[in-house]
Amino acid sequence: MSASLEAEHLFKVFGRRPDEAVDRLRRGADREELRADGATAAVIDASFTVEPGQIFVVMGLSGSGKSTLLRMLNGLLEPTSGQVRFDGQDLTGLGGKELREVRSRKISMVFQHFALFPHRSVRENAAYGLEVQGVPRAERERRADEALALCGLAGWEKSWPDELSGGMQQRVGLARALATDADLLLMDESFSALDPLIRRDMQDQLLQLQQTLKKTIVFITHDLNEAMRLGDRIAVMRDGRIVQTGSAEDILLRPANDYVASFIQDVDRSRVLTAEAVMDRAVRGDEADCDCETAAPDTPFTHLCAISARVPHPVAVVDEDRELVGVVQRQRLVGFLGDEETVPGSCDSAQGKGGEKAVARA
């Protein structure tokens, strides 16, 4: 059963007089002022909660502080100030031995560069965390094989890491994390070293696994499209600070400031937005009797565009009881994509087809 993770007012300062630097940051000092005095503020006043079974993505450019933040979550780095609690336990108050116990049983990490042992087989690599725990050999091999099968590596147990492709090696790293049955997975740029197609396969793999395993996951990335695809919630970091936290739709539709707005400029909105995100909620009531097209509850933006191209009417959005909860005007779809030519299926002839009312479920 997954547990919640809480970070409360985390600061991490490297260099001279870190405690004094935190006090100055709280009073409004910026990074440049501290740097001039020999201190580097890597993370500044970061607070968030990750609910059980949620994928929480921390996104930012290089140097934004995201990897430092991740390493404070499992005690690899000690916060200068602030607290980390997991499953109700204050990790920042634990000693070295207690922290190692937590990391071996409750928290697993998947690294960017695989971190496999070249002299160990795939099975032995996947079982390594269990070996550290002292699990008997037969049991750890069974659990490692189960985790490898979950990650699509059944039949490769006796192979060596150098016989595997980069994507397969990363699957071994993921299997090693899953084999311990830890409730919290920390993933630090775990797919960024992979080729684009393999990277997307790994994203698919993670989403499929999460549907079954429902782990609590913190995923670090600099890739906005990856963040939008994976994250139930996303935190955007800049210069050590979290500048916005929300769902992919929140960040796309309601950027907190100019920095976030510029960051999301090139995102393919059609892969993220749904009927519920773009509908006009002011229009509500009973659905009129008609021969209606219907769609799934989380109707994708591209499907809405296709419907809009076929009919002249706004797309009505209805709930499971066929109650009208909003409508999507064609102009609204066009507005999100930029111009009418980008609306899939858009053409003058579509306006002449039929007169039926299109309906999507919210």
Q: Where are the domains of the chain?
A: 5-106+182-267, 275-361
Please give the helix or strand (H or E) that residue 289 lies within, else none.
Answer: none
Residue 200 CA to residue 173 CA, distance in Å, equals 17
Residues 6+ apart with CB under 8 A from 138: none
- End-to-end CA gap in the chain: 30
Please give the helix or strand (H or E) that residue 9 lies within, else none.
Answer: strand 5-15
- Residue 8 in contact with residue 69, Cβ under 8 Å? no
Give residue 47's pLDDT.
97
Which parts of 201-306 are beta strand (E)?
216-221, 233-238, 241-246, 285-286
Mean pLDDT of 143-159: 92
Q: At residue 114, what are phi and psi to the nearest 5 degrees?
A: 70, -50
* Exposed e or buried b per residue across 332-362, where buried means at least 16 C-beta atoms within 10 angstroms of its C-beta: bbbebbeeeeebeebeeebeeeeeebbbbbb
User: For all residues of the chain together, what is the average pLDDT?
Assistant: 83
Residue 250 CA to residue 255 CA, distance in Å, equals 7
Strand partners for 59: 221, 236
- Residue 101 in contact with residue 92, Cβ under 8 Å? no
- Residue 253 in contact with residue 281, Cβ under 8 Å? no
Q: Is the pLDDT of residue 18 over 70?
A: yes
- Residue 77 in contact with residue 12, Cβ under 8 Å? yes
pLDDT in tens, 95-148: 888 988 888 889 998 887 778 999 999 999 999 999 988 999 999 999 999 999
* Exposed e or buried b per residue across 66-86, where buried means at least 16 C-beta atoms within 10 angstroms of its C-beta: bbbbbbbbbbebebbbbebbb
Q: Could you tell me the CATH superfamily of domain 5-106+182-267?
A: P-loop containing nucleotide triphosphate hydrolases (3.40.50.300)
Q: Per-residue confidence at 340, pLDDT binned at 50, 70, 90?
A: very low
